[in-house]
């Protein structure tokens, strides 16, 4: 098993395809796993008699497929002495790989524990042969477009191109817009498309808004990524609500887009991913209402894919964070919970989890919703750290705020209680800052001394976090008790804030007693 990371999506894909082609010439059965293939279909690979190479792209988002492949290969190796290789392609190694290493089946976990730095291929973020790639791409684009290839050396702006996608965009730009300065090649390609769209809609007698409508539909398609006839039909039926266009306009513009970007289906996401992300970021900034409309009218499966696309793009496009926040605010109780499932599959989940936390509108959460979120984040790893303070604040607002409001009213009626109430409020605020600072180091909320110095040395906080996560990993590896298998989550708060809550406290003793007596604990019981 090998892991391919680093570079950009285009570089990883091309290298994986080179591996596939090389082994295909050696009589191996080599191919890329269909992202829509079911676990049952994947397990059938164990019946193949030939040497096998299976490539899984975006492995962090397809752990079910990866596990099914690992199971098939493990069973195959026990029956046949035929070589098999599994190549995982991902943005980076991270928590998604750690979960696979902790799989209950030792055959599976053993395979993934072998994925270390010694068998991980990490591409450089700076492509080593920019000039050679530029000339090859420019020649290919000129041939495809039926124009003469420009002659001469690469433009000086090529030195600013860091990835293979940038280099290819620069090569295309020198053909479409020879005078471009290549400050941002992806922008140049998008602007060339926009100019073409404007000419097309003007020739059809349409206003400038026609080009904007084309861009919006292309961005929504890239965000929702339909990859079957049924999914395309489902998105088409919702495009009028998402974009504000009439049904007839949506029909006409999607036909135009298909002529521009021909594919198997009427709607096709913009590729490569780097270019699609750029279109999304530009469109979401111009039409910020789109994400919330998607959250309002689309089914969970489509929303989960949109959140996955946004989460994957955030490290490169931090300006997309408001789009995540806006989307989950459409229905925070349902969509933040859905977002937590997405976060644990991202290679770099931190900015996505932070945007989820910003969208957690605690004023619209029920007791049951808070309870479900507490259970989810308590059992998560570091991927949801930035979300945990927002969940705790929502919990405090639902359970503690009504009590504080009542005591404030009593304090107003009875003057001597007012200073006491103020102290309690300050202690609560201090505790919340402490929790947030501990759980989310980047928040910089951990209380400091009056002179600005750290009240607790940073190395000590880092050690405490490490010990808590190591303990949680051990808890997850041990055999599960009946109540945990059935879905109950005992000791939620100690799991969430283990450094600050005493497991011997009356609260946790009572919670254990309730769980021991019933096997579960209802949210209403918890609120008492």
Per-residue pLDDT of 164-208, as tens digits, reads 888 888 888 888 877 777 778 888 888 887 787 777 777 766 656
Q: Which own/partner contact pairs does 248-252 have at CB distance under 8 Å and 24+ positions apart?
A: 249/213, 250/217
Q: According to the model, what pLDDT value does residue 479 have?
A: 47
Tens digit of pLDDT for each residue in 250-266?
A: 998 898 888 877 888 88
Answer yes or no: is pLDDT of 326 > 90. yes
Helices H / strands E in the chain, number of each: 26, 5
Q: What is the DSSP string of 441-470?
A: GGG--S-B-TTS-BSS-HHHHHHHHHHHHH
Q: Which two tokens stand for residue 43?
A: 């397990």
Interatomic CA distance for residues 521 and 275, integer angstroms: 48
Distance (Å, rounded) from C-alpha 314 to C-alpha 56?
22
Residue 119's pLDDT is 63
In 3-state terms the chain splits into helix, strand, coil percentages (rounded to 5) of 65, 5, 30
Give the pLDDT band of residue 325 (cuts 50, 70, 90): very high
Cβ 267 vs Cβ 229: under 8 Å: no
Whether CATH 3.30.70.270 fits 2-123? no
Q: Is the pLDDT of residue 8 over 80?
A: no
Starting at the edge strand found earlier in the chain, the sheet holding 29-32 runs 29-32, 52-56, 84-89, 2-6, 120-123
Q: Position of tokens 């509108």? A: 361
Encode pLDDT of 33-75 as tens digits.
Answer: 887 788 788 888 778 888 888 888 888 878 888 888 888 888 8
> What percentage of residues in the chain have a pLDDT greater than 90?
16
Q: What is the pLDDT of residue 290?
A: 95
pLDDT value of position 320: 95
Task: Render pLDDT for 129-142 as a digit per residue (tens, 0 to 9).
Answer: 788 888 888 999 99
Point out the least confidently predicted range of 215-224, 248-257, 407-416. Answer: 407-416
Average pLDDT over residues 14-35: 86
pTM beyond cutoff 0.75: no
Model pLDDT, residue 503: 33
- 516 pLDDT above the threshold of 60: no
89 vs 485, which has greater pLDDT? 89
- Give the closest residue to 326 by CA, choosing from 352, 356, 346, 298: 356
Q: Pick 504 or 281 by higher pLDDT.
A: 281
pLDDT at 303: 95
Estimate the crossing angle of helix 332-343 against helix 350-358, to 10 degrees: 170
Q: What is the pLDDT of residues 421-478, one digit of tens each?
A: 677 777 777 777 777 777 777 767 777 777 777 666 767 666 666 665 555 545 554 5
What are the residue boundaries of the structural domains of the chain, listed by start? 2-123, 130-183
- Label residue 85 left, alpha or beta by phi (over 0 means left) and psi (-120 to 50 means alpha): beta
- pLDDT reported for residue 362: 55
Residue ranges of alpha helices (H) inside 25-102 are 39-43, 63-79, 95-101
pLDDT category, 80, cuts 50, 70, 90? Answer: confident
């Amino acid at each position: 098993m090998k892991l391919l990371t680093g570079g950009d999506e285009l570089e990883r894909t091309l290298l994986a395809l080179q591996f596939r082609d090389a082994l295909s010439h050696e009589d191996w059965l080599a191919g890329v796993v269909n992202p829509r293939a079911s676990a049952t279909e994947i397990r059938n690979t164990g019946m193949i008699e030939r040497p096998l190479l299976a490539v899984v792209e975006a492995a962090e988002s397809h752990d079910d497929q990866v596990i099914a492949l690992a199971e098939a290969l493990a069973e195959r190796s026990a029956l046949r002495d035929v070589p098999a290789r599994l190549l995982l392609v991902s943005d980076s190694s991270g928590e998604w790989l750690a979960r696979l290493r902790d799989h209950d089946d030792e055959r599976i976990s053993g395979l993934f524990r072998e994925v270390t730095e010694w068998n991980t291929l990490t591409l450089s973020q700076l492509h080593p042969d920019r000039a050679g790639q530029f000339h090859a791409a420019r020649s290919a684009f000129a041939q495809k477009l039926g124009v003469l290839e420009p002659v001469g050396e690469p433009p000086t702006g090529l030195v600013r191109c860091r990835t293979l996608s940038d280099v290819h965009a620069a090569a295309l730009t020198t053909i479409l817009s020879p005078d471009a300065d290549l400050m941002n090649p992806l922008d140049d390609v998008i602007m060339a498309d926009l100019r073409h769209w404007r000419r097309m809609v003007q020739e059809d007698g349409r206003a400038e808004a026609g080009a904007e409508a084309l861009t919006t539909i292309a961005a929504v398609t890239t965000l929702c990524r339909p990859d079957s006839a049924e999914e395309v039909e489902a998105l088409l039926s919702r495009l009028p609500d998402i974009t504000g266009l009439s049904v007839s306009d949506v029909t006409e513009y999607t036909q135009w887009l298909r002529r521009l970007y021909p594919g198997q289906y009427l709607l096709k996401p913009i590729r490569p991913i780097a270019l699609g992300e750029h279109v999304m970021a530009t469109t979401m900034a111009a039409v910020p209402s789109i994400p919330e409309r998607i959250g309002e009218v689309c089914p969970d499966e489509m929303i989960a894919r949109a959140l996955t696309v946004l989460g994957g793009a955030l490290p490169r496009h931090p300006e997309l964070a408001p789009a995540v926040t806006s989307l989950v605010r459409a229905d925070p109780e349902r969509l933040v919970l859905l977002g937590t499932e997405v976060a644990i599959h991202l290679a770099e989940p931190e900015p996505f989890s932070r945007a989820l936390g910003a969208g957690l509108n605690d004023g619209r959460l029920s007791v049951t919703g808070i309870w479900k979120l507490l259970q989810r984040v308590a059992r998560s790893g570091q991927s949801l750290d930035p979300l945990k303070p927002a969940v705790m604040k929502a919990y405090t607002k639902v359970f503690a705020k009504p009590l504080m409001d009542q005591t404030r009213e009593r304090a107003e009626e009875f003057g001597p209680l007012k200073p006491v109430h103020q102290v309690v409020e300050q202690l609560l605020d201090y505790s919340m800052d402490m929790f947030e600072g501990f759980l989310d180091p980047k928040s910089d909320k951990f209380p400091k001394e009056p002179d600005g110095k750290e009240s607790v040395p940073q190395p000590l906080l880092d050690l405490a976090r490490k010990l808590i996560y190591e303990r949680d990993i051990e808890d997850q590896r041990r055999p599960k008790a009946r109540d945990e298998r059935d879905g109950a989550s005992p000791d939620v708060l100690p799991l969430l804030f283990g450094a600050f809550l005493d497991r011997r406290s009356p609260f946790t003793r009572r919670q254990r007693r309730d769980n021991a007596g019933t096997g579960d604990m209802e949210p209403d019981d918890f609120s008492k």
